[in-house]
């Protein structure tokens, strides 16, 4: 466990400390850990918080309501295809990827994580990469499609077709941007 946050970026530290303190007071929350750049020690003030919670009865745990009770959210959106995962943005423009897991779930040993709180010794710290090869790669077709859709979105905005623009933005995020971010870390999306 690592309850100290002294090495965390200064802008993120107060929010993270408050979420950690609240988690320790909530018996439903069994463990809290970070993944991504914060876990690898590569974060800066504008990095997102990849926050993971092991929670009793995750199906009844209202994750975004819990987060909203701690910080004011301007966005709380479920990540398509990932049960218990949410993209959240605070009014202070802190991006939080909130992920809820059952306490008896499988926690792959190859995930990069930094355990902050663990009541039941469920989670282990790990500093390896999330992919078998771990080598970044360039998904050329995804990049081409991303740039094409980005260019077409300008026309949607100019025409006032906000529904088309909204759907294009969601597709860019879910189908393309996520794949590009995974490729940057050497992970092939399923």
DSSP-derived letter for residue 79 is P
* Residues of the chain predicted below pLDDT 70: 1-3, 107-111, 124-134, 188-190
pLDDT, position 128? 37
- Is the CA virtual torsion 170, 175, 179, 180 positive or negative? negative
> Which pTM was predicted?
0.67
Every domain of the chain with CATH number 3.30.460.10 lies at: 13-118
Q: What is the pLDDT of residue 163?
A: 86
Return the H-helix or E-strand segment holding 159.
helix 140-159
CATH topology of domain 13-118: Beta Polymerase; domain 2 (3.30.460)
Q: Identify the pLDDT of residue 89.
A: 95
3-state DSSP percent of the chain in helix, strand and coil, to 5? 35, 20, 45
**24-38 confidence digits (pLDDT tens):** 999 999 999 999 888
**What pLDDT shows up at residue 161?**
87
pLDDT tens profile 112-149: 789 998 998 888 665 433 434 567 777 777 787 878 78
pLDDT at site 131: 39
Nearest C-alpha neighbor of 122 from the set 50, 36, 33: 33
Cβ atoms of residues 43 and 157 within 8 Å? no
The pLDDT mean for the chain works out to 84
The pLDDT of residue 19: 96
């Amino acid at each position: 466990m690592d309850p100290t946050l002294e090495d965390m970026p200064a802008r993120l530290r107060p929010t993270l400390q408050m979420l950690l303190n609240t988690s320790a007071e909530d018996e439903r929350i069994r463990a809290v850990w970070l993944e991504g750049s914060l876990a690898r020690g590569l974060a800066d003030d504008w990095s997102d918080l990849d926050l993971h919670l092991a929670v009793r009865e995750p199906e009844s745990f209202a994750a975004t309501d819990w987060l909203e009770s701690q910080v004011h959210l301007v966005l709380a959106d479920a990540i398509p295809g990932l049960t218990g995962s949410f993209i959240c943005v605070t009014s202070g423009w802190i991006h939080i990827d909130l992920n809820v897991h059952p306490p008896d779930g499988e926690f792959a040993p190859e995930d990069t994580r930094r355990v902050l709180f663990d009541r039941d010794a469920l989670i282990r710290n790990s500093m390896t990469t999330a992919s078998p090869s771990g080598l970044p790669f360039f998904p050329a077709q995804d990049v081409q499609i991303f740039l094409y859709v980005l260019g077409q979105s300008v026309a949607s905005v100019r025409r006032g077709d906000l529904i088309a623009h909204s759907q294009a933005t969601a597709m860019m995020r879910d189908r393309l941007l996520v794949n590009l971010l995974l490729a940057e870390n050497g992970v092939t999306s399923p």
